[in-house]
Structure 1
Amino acid sequence: MTAPFSGDRIILRDLGFYGFHGLFAEEAKLGQRFFIDLECGVDLTASGETDAIGHTVSYADIYDVVKASFEAKRCKLIEALGHNIVAALFEQFSEISWIVIRIRKPEAPIAMVRGEAAIELHRARPL
């Protein structure tokens, strides 16, 4: 068995969504952009050897689960949003052994001249 967060992975970067997550009333009313980066630990040996989609996890299916989870419930904290997305991915795809997710909020309501607020979660599949 490989150590968590090492080995093969499926990567999705800069997934853009518009949502109403956040602590403040303005965020719930007006919404804002969010960007999600995702790495999912999946053994890609069989799919590499066979060139068959049945031996891997479809990144399109991963995207669909991320999108559905992002839109399912308004969260005050992006930490909770990330937790919900990770839980949905583990529930849907038994092949995923670990996940690293980064949620970026470029228009966070803080006095930034440039940059973004973000969180990153590292989660291994619960045993």
Structure 2
Amino acid sequence: MGIIRLENVRLYGFHGCLKEEEKIGSDYRVDLEVHADLQKASASDHLEDTVDYVQLQTIIREEMARRTKLIETVAARILDRILEEQRAVTQARVAVSKINPPIGGDVQQVTVELSKNRN
């Protein structure tokens, strides 16, 4: 078993319940961890034997581009697509952070973390 991580993926998005968030947008950070059997890839040195992290980043980018009110929804969509499209992944964890959220205080970020196992 092995782990692949994409850390500190920085994006701009328009998620939130406030009208201002829909118009102005915010900075976001996504951290992803996937578990898969990486033994074959480590021996073969072939991309088709591993989880393509370019595709993982594409999934993150595409789902972050779809506006939602809740970052919980974005996180769930990312996990669902990874498990659907990346058959080698057995487990995934994603953390979506809204940087400087408009919550009436000095808060660096709010983070939602979800994980999901392949059934």
Please tell me the TM-score bracket, short chain as reference: over 0.9
Deviates most, 105-114 or 26-35:
105-114
The 2-side partners of 1:68 and 1:95 are apart by 21
Shift in Å, 1:113? 2.2
Map 1:1-80 to 2 at 5 A: 7-71=1-65, 73-80=66-73
Q: Which runs of 5+ in 1 are unaligned?
A: 1-6
Aligned 8 A contact 1:82 1:121 in 2: yes
Q: Is 2:113 the partner of 1:120?
A: yes
CA RMSD in angstroms comes to: 1.2
Q: Distance in 1 between matches of 2:108 and 2:60?
A: 24
Shift of 1:114: 4.3
On the 8 A contact 2:99/2:108 being kept in 1, the answer is yes
Equivalent residues of 2:29, 2:98 under 8 A apart? yes
TM-score by length of 1: 0.88
Q: Which residue of the partner structure matches residue 93 of structure 2?
A: 100
Map Cα deviations across residues 53-88 of structure 1 (whole Å, 9 max, x no partner). 1210111111112111221x2111110110011111
1:112, CA displacement in angstroms? 3.2
| Contact 1:66 1:89 (C-alpha < 8 Å) held by counterparts | no
User: Partner of 2:76 in structure 1?
Assistant: 83
Partner of 1:4: none
SS at match of 2:103: coil
Aligned 8 A contact 1:69 1:88 in 2: no
Report the number of matched residues: 119
> What amino acid maps onto 1:78 in structure 2?
I
